[in-house]
Structure 1
Amino acid sequence: MQFDWLSLGSLIFAAHALGVIAAGHAILNTRTSQGAIAWAVSLVAVPYVTLIPYLFLGRSKFSGYVDKRRIESELLRTRAHPSAWDTSASSMGRPADALGHSVVRALTRLSGMPFLPGNHVRTLVNGEATFAAILDAIVHARHYVLIQFFIVRDDELGERLKALLLAKAAQGVRICFLYDSIGSFDLPQRYISALREGGVQMHPFATNRRFVNRFQLNFRNHRKIVVVDGERAFVGGHNVGVEYLGGNPRLSPWRDTHIELRGPVVASVQFVFIEDWHWATQSLPRLEPSQAEQPERVEDADMHCLVVAPGPADKDETGSLFFVEAINAAQTRIWITTPYLVPDEAVISALRLAVMRGVDVRILIPSRRDHYVVFEASKLYAYDLIRAGVRIFRYRPGFLHQKVVLIDDVAAAIGSANLDNRSFRLNFEIMVLTIDHAFASEVEAMLARDFGEAWEVERHEYRNASALRRIVMHVARLFSPIL
């Protein structure tokens, strides 16, 4: 049988033609110039390899989504803000004394929420402490529980959560459970059906409603939120899976941090959940008015807290700008822990300037990998930052997944955002910035222990790497706009 060279040539021509069209789309729609160049070059040069990934990952915005999401969010903000959210006075008081009036003004405008006083924040170090606190809060729920995770697994921890939610639903507690449709892609339908049949309102967060977005994998909801009766909230890096309790031998012991919040800031966290729930269901969760609208200060607690919830529908690139402003605010120290070190140029420039100001700039990253391409790209970014004077450390014992920022001895931010482009521009994230000397000291002690179990990356590690290893790192960095 004679090989049909004409058909093969036609297929090659069609692939390159589609690659050129897709490259034009990438240039017009990708949010960063680096991303546009990376996609355009790869789509024109090797469309056979990149066309399908571009279909799933290439779009950083798409028709109708951003506008619709933004309109819905603005309507909710005008209708659902508690009366205590007076941003006109947000630049006064302790936050301004600690960070400066201009920094506080920028952060409150960026987040759309004010610093709220009268809160108590407790660190929950690692999975056992985190889920013990979350499950205990749910046990004592009287009215409602709001739950949101990027990953939910049907394993031992997932079963414990499911059994508890079913028991509380049977007691008449209203439960709203939101999970990301991609992050929880392997969550079996029987798990979801059992909760729904037991009275739990459970929905996926998805952004592929329209046919044109059918294959869209960007715009994931990476937030981890639990709110109980409007009185207690939990935010941080943990998802629902036994690996977060150290159940994966390759990555164990898993190092992560969550926080428990009490006080008026709970209303801010709750509002972020309401926005996401409304997008997913086109309805509002039914909450007790007393808990939903009138947050109360915690007695003998005066921590000032600000919730920053960046997402791809924001008018500004909230995630990147938050890190830039936090770094710029530092006068003596900025310590950051992140599992993925793939910063954009704005964050890199802020880190360089901080070093020039004499700030102690340290970044703690994992020594074990869970994503190969991200890990290799992180090595090259680490080397570039080391040359600029940033101290980079790798955590030894297990996989490091916590997302923490410590600013001087006055402020700390903990949440779900990584130091990468996906958290900056493509994912929905949440961070809580707390102004309090005692809390900052607690976070400092926690991070000091982590740095004590890490080794510092030296310049020679890159120079001593083989030529092949360096090529792999540089190739991996080409994908940084979508990592």
Structure 2
Amino acid sequence: MVVEWMLGSWLLLLDWLIRLVALFWIPARTTPGAARSWLLLVGFVPLLGLPLYLAFGHPWLSRQRLQRQAEASQVIREEQALQDALRWQPRADTATAEIVPLVECQGDFMPVHGNAVDLLTGYDDALATLIADIDQAEERVHLLYYLMFDDAVGEAIVEALQRAAARGVHCRVLLDAVGAKRGLRAYRKRLLARQIDVRAMLPGGLRWRRSGRMDLRNHRKIAVIDNRVGYVGSQNLAAAGFVPGHPNRELVARVRGPAVAHLEAVFASDWYIETGQRLDVLVDVPVSVDDVPTQLLPSGPAYPFSNARDAVNALVHLARRRLVLVTPYFVPDEATLSALRIAALSGVEVQLILSASNNQRLTAWAQEAYYDELLRCGVRIALYEPHFLHAKHLSVDDDIALLGSINLDIRSFALNAEIGLLCYDSALVQRLRTIEADYLAQARPVQLEDWRRRPAWRRSREGIARLADALM
């Protein structure tokens, strides 16, 4: 009995010691919103909560990776200083003139003119176009993707790379170690046998300390072929139905012009961060007569600031008439939620388009917890029904569009390496408006009165899921 009493006393002491340590340790190293979630978890289950926080609570990267990102950023800025003729100057006293310096200061890339941007909405057509461009490659093919599956699409991409390598084209492939695990396992040896350089980004296992926190991921989707054409968007290298019951609908931008060199620079930066090898970037890119001004927005934990979050929030605040946001995962932080609320209450028409189906149940429950507040402020919410809407883009008034891999959730803002393409062109925004109108024509609007009739158990579920927003 004495031994049991002493053991119980020690466990109780340890239990409260963990709580006290967490109370002083976590808020000093984590944002207030995330700290509340972690302290709640530690408070309920201390022996489990603290080890989980130590493993996943702070989005740390190794010093080597942070240093390499800083070096890559410096090179990008120095190279652009020699190409001032390509810089695009926005008109003064416009929303564009305000967002451009923020994006350049945080993400390194200046806005450039002379680009052509094609918006590809057909899933199979976008892949077929990418493969056709790979088949025309003469010098290099660089692919950087979060996810690659061992399915018909993965096989088609591998065969296109093999054909290119047989012609003497230098092919490099960067795949996220977790998202593309199936593709790496199925195709790595086969590609290496054809002298195609394949690397896994942010590997785990015994090498995790040279990478960073285990759940940090590279979520970018980029393809660059020669100095001729680049791709950026939401689509992975997998069949549309790679998640059973959730066939994807995507949006991809096919880019020509100086922006291709900037996409190549992002690839070269990630290659250097992962391998330590420096690649030459082909900067002599032909200017397109379409002359769409663009600016790249890379973001991720290797940067000093939350680039994606800051840019999205700035764009929301800069909207004066209409703002449309499309995302599959909507779990905003307080700053983004506040920006949307202020915009709607200020008279901006704010339209949020989400997917009616969702392949991540906890995220779906958490995002539903925000509907009531947003609807009360005048934000319109529509749920797209035919497919899993995996596209990620937003449009501001009539002259700014942002598209790429960035979700409107805390994971994209703080944990993932992401890429966005800003386009400052009214004709392109109008094309994007047409795509948004097609979504809305096939979407179910959420009405505040109907939403409030949902059962009490669903409200409780949403509230509990929202508490875990910083843990997703």
Task: Settle same-fold status: TM greater than 0.5.
Answer: yes
Which of 422, 426, 429 is equivalent to 1:433?
422
Distance in 2 (CA, whole Å) between partners of 1:82 and 1:168 is: 34
Residue 450 (structure 1) shift: 0.4
- The aligned runs of 1:88-237 (5 Å cut-off) are 90=88, 92-93=89-90, 96=92, 99-206=95-202, 212=209, 216-237=213-234
Distance in 1 (CA, whole Å) between partners of 2:412 and 2:467 is: 17
Distance in 2 (CA, whole Å) between partners of 1:57 and 1:162 is: 34
Alignment deviations for residues 332-364 of structure 1 (CA, whole Å, 9 cap, x no partner): 111010001111122122212222332110010
Alignment deviations for residues 391-412 of structure 1 (CA, whole Å, 9 cap, x no partner): 1110111211100111112221
* TM-score normalised by the chain length of structure 2: 0.92
Residue 213 (structure 1) shift: 6.7
Letter in 1 for 2:229: R
- The aligned runs of 1:294-333 (5 Å cut-off) are 294-298=284-288, 300-333=289-322
Distance in 2 (CA, whole Å) between partners of 1:437 and 1:465 is: 40
Percent sequence identity is 28
- The aligned runs of 1:9-28 (5 Å cut-off) are 14=14, 17-18=17-18, 21=21, 24-28=24-28
Alignment deviations for residues 229-264 of structure 1 (CA, whole Å, 9 cap, x no partner): 02100000011111xx23544113x21111100001
Give the alignment's Cα RMSD to 1 decimal.
2.6
Residue 462 (structure 1) shift: 4.1
Letter in 1 for 2:195: G
Specify the SS of the correspondent of 1:430: strand
Alignment deviations for residues 364-414 of structure 1 (CA, whole Å, 9 cap, x no partner): 011112111110000011222111111111011121110011111222111
Q: Report if aligned partners of 1:207, 1:219 keep a CA contact under 8 Å in 2.
A: no
Q: Report if aligned partners of 1:23, 1:41 keep a CA contact under 8 Å in 2.
A: no
Cα 1:15–1:163 shift into 2, 3 Å? farther
Distance in 2 (CA, whole Å) between partners of 1:9 and 1:151 is: 49
Specify the SS of the correspondent of 1:142: coil
Cα 1:393–1:263 shift into 2, 3 Å? same
Specify the SS of the correspondent of 1:392: strand
Specify the SS of the correspondent of 1:448: helix
Distance in 1 (CA, whole Å) between partners of 2:387 and 2:220 is: 23
Distance in 2 (CA, whole Å) between partners of 1:380 and 1:276 is: 36
Cα 1:201–1:5 shift into 2, 3 Å? farther
* TM-score normalised by the chain length of structure 1: 0.90
- For structure 2, the residue ranges without an aligned partner over 5 or more in a row are none
Which of 247, 258, 262 is equivalent to 1:264?
258
Cα 1:314–1:134 shift into 2, 3 Å? same
Alignment deviations for residues 104-143 of structure 1 (CA, whole Å, 9 cap, x no partner): 3333323321111111000010311210111111010000
1:465 paired to 2:454: yes
Alignment deviations for residues 174-201 of structure 1 (CA, whole Å, 9 cap, x no partner): 1110011122234453421111121111
Alignment deviations for residues 290-315 of structure 1 (CA, whole Å, 9 cap, x no partner): xx1222211x2111011111111222
Cα 1:198–1:396 shift into 2, 3 Å? same
Residue 48 (structure 1) shift: 4.3
Cα 1:19–1:240 shift into 2, 3 Å? farther
- The aligned runs of 1:241-390 (5 Å cut-off) are 241-242=238-239, 245-246=240-241, 248-252=243-247, 254-286=248-280, 292-298=282-288, 300-390=289-379
Q: How many residues align?
A: 469
